[in-house]
Structure 1
């Protein structure tokens, strides 16, 4: 029995969207796991965010290969990216920090999440360009969670948490500025 074009189209769109939802699920699970602030849980949460980065790269690749790119997929990807690379890395940082309630940490986190949302919105309205403007949120989220992972594995037992917290505060602000900046990166094929 021949397949209808309607079913083929739906199936081809389901796979990239499923990968996008996997990206978001990894971010949500990372948030949940990092609530328990044990070193092991912080490591697992950091790794989940890094895996979400691979899923984010994969969903676009699969959508292009299947000819299943759509405006809905683009918007869905941005919403899921905000969870996995905007909110999850900040909550991961809060949960591994002793002084997470300090005003500086809260303000830097809000700046980072706001810059993430702004960066994604700007990307969505720019249409098809040959360049990406500002640092992609996925890279920012990977840098932030990678730094937390590195700190927990190699540095936390040797360096005071206040020093690590100060470093992460500076990195969060720097990443925020880079996300909203106007520098251009050529889109890789």
Structure 2
């Protein structure tokens, strides 16, 4: 067995911890901190893959764990954060937008897990979509000039882009 094979999973679990923390902060109406936790989850997500490749310990287990963490941190957490901040003002429509974001993120991750990587992603990665929503939450919560419907419309657009066949290069 390879030494250090569990190290990338520690970063993945860090990603998950930040995602759950973002959810808890959303419940406590601490939207800025919640959004920052999503961005911190992004740092951990970046590092887990980098460390796995560096240590040459990539595995199917790591890929599955990463997807589960990503669904929480970049799907559920941003959707709940956005809903708690202002999508709830839209009633069932706001709830539907949040649910669509999570479901499209889950479909995107499932598709990624069963396809062979060809150098570019098919559809916008959930990590990018979640980070964009977190940044919009920061902007919206700090009363910077942003149209009222910007957050829900961007979330709907990102939902569609996650499940689209759009080729997105890996950076």
TM-score normalised by L of structure 1: 0.85
Instruction: State the match for 1:52 in structure 2.
Output: 41
Unaligned runs of 5+ in 1: 1-5
Equivalent of residue 108 in structure 1, options 89, 97, 102 = 97
Q: Give the alignment partner of residue 5 of structure 2, picking from 10, 13, 19.
A: 13
CA–CA separation in structure 1 for the residues paired with 2:151 and 2:169: 28
Q: Residues 100 and 106 of structure 1 are in contact (CA less than 8 Å); yes or no, is this contact kept in structure 2?
A: no
1:121 matched to 2:121? The reply is: no
Runs of 4+ aligned residues of structure 1 deviating over 4 Å after TM superposition are none
CA contact (8 A) 1:119 1:137 kept: yes
Matches within 5 A, 1:23-62: 23-37=15-29, 41-62=30-51
Residue in structure 2 matched with residue 141 of structure 1 by the alignment: 130
Alpha-carbon shift at residue 100 of structure 1 (Å):
4.3
SS of residue matched to 1:132? strand
Count, aligned residues: 171
**Pair 1:71 & 2:60 matched:** yes
After superposition, give the CA deviation of every residue in 1:158-186 in whole Å (9 maximum; x if it has no partner). 77xxx53x221101100000000001123
Give the whole-Å Cα distance in 2 for the aligned partners of 1:98 and 1:106: 7
| Corresponding position of 1:185 | 168
| Cα displacement (A) at 1:101 | 6.2
RMSD: 1.6
Task: Single out whichever of 56-65 and 128-137 deviates more from structure 2.
Answer: 128-137
Alpha-carbon distance, 1:187 to partner: 2.7
| Contact in 2 for aligned 1:22/1:52 (Cα 8 Å) | yes
Q: Secondary structure at the match of 2:58?
A: coil
Deviations 1:5-48 (A, max 9, x none): x3xx2x422110000000010000110011122xxx21111101
- Say if 1:81 and 1:137, in contact at 8 Å, map to a contact too: yes
